[in-house]
Amino acid sequence: DGISIDGGRETRISDVSIKHTRIGIHIKYGANNGSSDADIMNVNIVGDNHKDAIGVLVEGFDNTLTNMRIAAVNTGVWLKSGGNSLRNVHPLFIFGDSQDYLSSCGFHIERSDNFLYYCYGDQMATAFQIDKGVSATITDCFCFWYTDKGEVQTAISCDGPFESLVFGLKAIFHRDAKKITLLKAEVGGKGHLVFPFIGNR
């Protein structure tokens, strides 16, 4: 693994590259009653291109992730906590023999009260995976597929009804993909998908 913040508070990681890791950065349950208050900025992460590779795994609360590039992972950012702010975070899927495209995900959001601004899911099977009952705020984000390899392309997938606020999502599906989905969710949600843009289709 790369860098692990074990029960810390107000830790800063900046201007580094972390390469060939299973988990690039792991923010564990924080010292401030669970809040870790970490600031992660200007970080490049390259995973080991296996199906258990994660760019950033967040378990502590109230962190800020800014200007990050993440590649060769199966999950770009996995948010198991709330109160996190992400801006300009860009996970990219790279096809490899040990990868599992169909389970790949740019952003996995397990808890409510997470805020994403111009975050970019690139060639992941699912750009934004949202767990049941979770309400996230996703603003001016982007997802893009440069190939039809893997066949399935999903912008937002919810395990239950759609409860989030999504503003200005831009989804550029590959024109030859066999199955594309802008929003996958059960009926009955109270979320809002405002001004989405779909390209190529």
pLDDT tens-digit series, residues 9-41: 899 999 999 999 999 999 999 998 999 999 999
CA triple 183-197-190, angle to 5 deg:
40
Q: What is the DSSP string of 74-93?
A: SEEEEE-SSS-EEEEEEEE-
Q: What is the pLDDT of residue 201?
A: 65
- Minimal CA–CA distance to 81: which of 43, 127, 134? 134
What pLDDT is recorded for position 199? Answer: 85
Average pLDDT over residues 189-197: 96
pLDDT given for residue 106 in this prediction: 98
The CB density around residue 170, as the number of other CB atoms within 10 Å, is 16
With 0-12 CB in 10 A as exposed, 13-18 as middle and 19+ as buried, what is 169?
buried
Instruction: Please name which of 58, 79, 59, 55 lies closest in space to residue 69, comparing C-alpha atoms.
Output: 55
Question: To the nearest whole number, what is the mean pLDDT of the chain?
Answer: 96
Name the nearest CA neighbour of 112 among 14, 28, 190, 198: 190
Residue 140 DSSP class? S
Instruction: Report the percentage of the chain scoring pLDDT > 70.
Output: 100
Residues 153-182 pLDDT 10s = 999 999 999 999 999 999 999 999 999 999
Q: What is the pLDDT of residues 89-98, one digit of tens each?
A: 999 999 988 8
pLDDT tens readout for residues 134-152: 999 999 999 999 999 988 9
Beta bridge partners of 105: 75, 126
| Confidence label for 85 from pLDDT (cuts 50, 70 and 90) | very high
For residue 200, name the pLDDT band (cuts at 50, 70, 90): confident
Tell me, what amino acid is at 183? Answer: L
